[in-house]
Amino acid sequence: MRCKFCGAEIEKPYREWDATPRKKPSEIRIKISCWECPSCGKKFRTATRVWPEKKPKARGRAKARGKRKGPGRRKKRGKN
Burial of 16 (0-12, 13-18, 19+ CB in 10 A): middle
Please name the amino acid found at residue 4.
Answer: K
Give me Rg for the CA atoms of the chain. Answer: 24
Give per-residue pLDDT as tens, 43-78: 999 999 887 677 666 665 555 555 555 665 556 666
List CB contacts of 45: < 8 A, sequence separation 6 or more. Answer: 32, 33, 34, 35
pTM of the full structure: 0.56
Q: What is the pLDDT of residue 45?
A: 94
Rounded CA separation 59/70 (Å): 16
